[in-house]
Copies of this chain bind each other. A is one copy, B any other.
Amino acid sequence: MIKRYYLIFVSLNVTNLNDIANIKTSCTVGKSNNNCFDFLTEEERDLINKNKVTVEYRKGEVIAKQGTFTTHILYLLDGLAKVYYEAGDRNLILRIAPPGSLIGLTSLPLNQTVFQYTASAYVNTLVELIDINVVRQIVQQNAKFASGIIDALSEIAIQKNGRFFCLSHRQSYGKLADIILCLAGNIFKTTKFNLLLSRKELAELSGMSTESVIRTLKNFQDDGLISIKGKTFEVIDYEGLMKICQLG
Contacts and interface: CB of A to CB of B under 8 A. Distances in A.
Interface string A105-133: 11111001000110000000000000000
A162 B169 CA distance: 17
A151 B117 contact: no
B169 A164 contact: no
Contact of A139 (B85, B147, B160): B147
A87 to B, nearest CB: 6
Interface in A147-168: 147, 149-151, 153-158, 160-162, 164-165, 167-168
A230 B106 CA distance: 42
A54 to B, nearest CB: 25
A47 interface: no
| Tally of this chain's copies | 2
Interface stretch (A88-96, A219-227, A235-243): A88-96
Nearest to A116: B158
A49 interface: no
A36 to B, nearest CB: 11
A48 to B, nearest CB: 16
Contacts of A164: 85, 92, 94, 160, 164, 167-168
- Most central of A85, A105, A139, A154 by chain B CB within 10 Å: A154
A207 interface: yes
Interface in A55-101: 85, 87-88, 90, 92, 94
Contacts of A142: 143
A234 B227 CA distance: 56
A162 B167 CA distance: 14
A246 interface: yes
Interface string A26-50: 0000000000000000000000000
A52 interface: no
A210 to B, nearest CB: 16
A82 to B, nearest CB: 14
8 contacts: A90-B169, A92-B168, A109-B155, A139-B146, A139-B147, A153-B154, A157-B157, A160-B160
